[in-house]
């Protein structure tokens, strides 16, 4: 699978945390500077403060830092390679794609990161298990909400995708096989997940919440149950009106509040 590495962006755009990835034994190289055309492996490390490129060529290791990592490119911005990839712990292809460090959109194909997801549709953030990366071609689009993508061969084992070039998430509504060697995915956008960062950064008035509520606010969607309680309190009176035997015929009225 050919992957474009954007060296200029790596040199200029720091990530939130340290990222590192390697490509070794390339079977395809494009736009590589003549000096390094025979490289057998590269390792790129990017921290919040600097970028470092280790190039293994001619039995030696050459290190480039900062903007000098662009020296690997014949045009000073990118290279295209196909080889064996390895990622350090904590680094994912999805994160590299999100940052624009790499892209698969080559030869008219677009990348899809595939997942298994089991969350309810109305959850803003979904629980995802990454399955892998595949390449496909756009077949039909109704805006960006519904998309058909054709894949070469048979693809299965996932029900959810992220398309880096569109920066959107999609449910796999159904799968069709129009021919023996083509699998067609019918995709529907998950707008909540696609725009989850924007949604979570909004300041909004919460009209209803499942756990927190105020009894003094009327809400027709909330059912209330009323219970009557009776309590008996003993009162000690010292006034002579209660102790004077001459007042045995007096009547008293006792008022209660909240009961019958």
Q: How many domains does the chain have?
A: 2
Question: Domain check: are 130 and 45 in the same one?
Answer: no
**pLDDT tens figures, 38-76:** 999 999 999 999 999 999 998 899 999 999 999 999 999
Enclosing domain of residue 74: 1-103
CB within 8 Å of 24: residues ≥ 6 apart: 40, 41, 42, 83, 84, 86
**pLDDT tens figures, 192-228:** 999 888 888 888 777 777 777 777 777 777 776 777 7
- Is 233 part of a structural domain of the chain? no
Helix (H, G, I), strand (E, B) or coil at 247: helix
- Give pTM, 2 decimals: 0.61
Question: Domain check: are 120 and 99 in the same one?
Answer: no
Question: Domain check: are 96 and 131 in the same one?
Answer: no
Mark which of 103, 135, 155 sits at the end of a domain: 103
Neighbours of 158 (CB within 10 A): 20
205: CATH: 2.40.10
Question: Domain check: are 209 and 145 in the same one?
Answer: yes
């Amino acid at each position: 699978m050919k992957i474009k590495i954007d060296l200029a962006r790596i040199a200029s755009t720091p990530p939130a945390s340290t990222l590192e990835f390697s490509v070794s034994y390339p079977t395809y190289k494009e736009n590589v500077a003549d000096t390094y055309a025979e490289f057998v492996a590269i390792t790129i490390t990017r921290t919040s403060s600097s970028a470092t490129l280790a190039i293994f060529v001619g039995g030696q290791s050459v290190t480039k830092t900062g903007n000098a990592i662009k020296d690997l490119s014949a045009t000073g911005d990118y290279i295209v390679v196909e080889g064996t990839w390895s990622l350090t712990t904590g680094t994912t292809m999805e994160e590299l794609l999100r940052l624009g460090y790499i892209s698969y959109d080559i030869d008219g194909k677009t990348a899809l990161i595939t997942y298994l997801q089991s969350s309810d549709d109305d959850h803003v953030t979904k629980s995802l298990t990454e399955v892998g990366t595949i390449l496909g071609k756009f077949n039909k689009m109704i805006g960006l909400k519904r998309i058909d993508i054709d894949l070469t061969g048979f693809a299965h084992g996932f029900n959810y995708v992220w398309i880096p070039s569109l920066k959107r998430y999609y449910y796999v509504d159904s799968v069709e096989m129009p021919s023996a060697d083509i699998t067609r995915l019918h995709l529907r956008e998950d707008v909540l997940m696609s725009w989850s960062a924007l949604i979570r950064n909004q300041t909004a008035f919460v009209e209803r919440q499942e756990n927190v509520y105020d009894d003094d606010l009327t809400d027709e969607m909330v059912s209330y149950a009323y219970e009557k309680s009776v309590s008996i309190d003993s009162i000690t009176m010292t006034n002579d009106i209660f102790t004077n035997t001459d007042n045995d015929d007096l009547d008293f009225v006792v008022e209660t509040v909240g009961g019958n």
